[in-house]
């Protein structure tokens, strides 16, 4: 068998694609056997790591890729900026703590939540992103196929789950109950990031049942990081800036 065939058999794509270049480099630089082997394994490991990151990001199903480096936190108070910086360490995931991002539309909640998820993927953690309205639809479909238990197991296997847009759509009694059960079962297993346009005292507008709402808030808010990101919409600011530029051209 050739080197290419051995590399394919052993699932070493970097070596398979680059072994001729590596051999030439080793000859020209007089690499020792130790240096040659170390270089080959380093590149193979790096490629495998990058492929793993891309695989985890795809599996997370982010609507867009967002990064903490691009998040504009200057418009927030010093306390909020400090909390955002602390969340960027991802220590809250290791401690299985939740994050609740509250604020009106356009203030960066989804960007921050997604960026935390993308960073978690890059550090080898499993992540799932789902919008809450879509989650309820998926749960009802799972119920109709008698696959709720299977769905719950899938939901619980991730180290971080991002529930985006809680509060934009209210649920019927069935939807509220299954969402409550899903979040409650997940709560002690791993971290949840929730973005919402509603403060806790208004969650009853979504779940309708005051007892269920109180129990849910009690579970997700206990020892969680709550950030009030309310303020001017950055999307409106960007639109107005663009319009002003067009006007003055």
Question: In the beta sheet, which residues pair with residue 166?
Answer: 196
Q: Are 222 and 216 in contact (CB under 8 A)?
A: no
CA distances from 69 to 93, 115, 125, 161, 194 (A): 19, 9, 19, 21, 21
Query: What average pLDDT score do residues 217-234 get?
Result: 84
3-state secondary structure (DSSP) of residue 160? strand
CATH architecture of the domain 68-237 equals 3-Layer(aba) Sandwich (3.40)
Query: How many beta carbons lie within 10 A of that of residue 155, not counting itself?
Result: 20
d(CA 97, CA 249): 50
The ranges assigned to domains in the chain are 3-60, 68-237
pLDDT tens digit string along 141-170? Answer: 888 888 888 888 888 899 999 999 998 887
The whole-number pLDDT of residue 154 equals 84
Whole-model pTM above 0.85? no
Helices 109-122, 78-87: axis angle to 10 degrees equals 30
pLDDT tens digit string along 15-24? Answer: 899 989 988 9
Of 165, 194, 47, 56, which Cα lies nearest the Cα of 118? 56
Of 71, 65, 66, 102, which Cα lies nearest the Cα of 85? 71
CA distances from 230 to 105, 137, 148, 199, 236 (A): 8, 28, 35, 10, 14
């Amino acid at each position: 068998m050739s080197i290419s065939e051995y590399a394919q058999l052993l699932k070493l794509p970097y070596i398979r694609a680059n072994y001729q270049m590596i051999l030439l480099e080793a000859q020209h630089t007089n690499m020792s056997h130790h240096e040659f082997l170390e270089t080959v394994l380093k590149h193979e490991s790096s490629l495998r790591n990058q492929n793993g990151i891309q695989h985890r990001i795809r599996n997370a199903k982010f609507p867009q890729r967002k990064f903490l480096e691009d998040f504009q936190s200057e418009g927030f108070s010093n306390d909020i900026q400090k909390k955002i910086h602390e969340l960027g360490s991802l220590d809250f995931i290791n401690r299985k703590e939740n994050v609740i991002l509250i604020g009106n539309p356009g203030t960066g909640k989804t960007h921050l939540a997604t960026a935390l998820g993308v960073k978690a993927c890059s550090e080898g953690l499993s992540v799932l992103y789902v919008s809450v309205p879509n989650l309820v639809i998926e749960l009802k479909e799972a119920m109709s196929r008698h696959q709720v238990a299977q769905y719950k197991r899938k939901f619980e296997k991730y180290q971080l789950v991002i529930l985006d847009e809680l509060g934009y759509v209210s649920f019927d009694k069935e939807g509220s109950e299954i969402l409550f059960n899903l979040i409650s079962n997940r709560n002690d297993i791993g971290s949840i990031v929730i973005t919402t346009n509603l403060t806790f005292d208004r969650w009853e507008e979504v779940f309708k049942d005051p007892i269920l709402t109180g129990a849910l808030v009690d579970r997700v808010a206990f020892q969680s990081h709550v950030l009030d990101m309310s303020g001017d919409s950055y999307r409106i600011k960007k639109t107005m800036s663009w319009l002003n530029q067009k006007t003055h051209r």
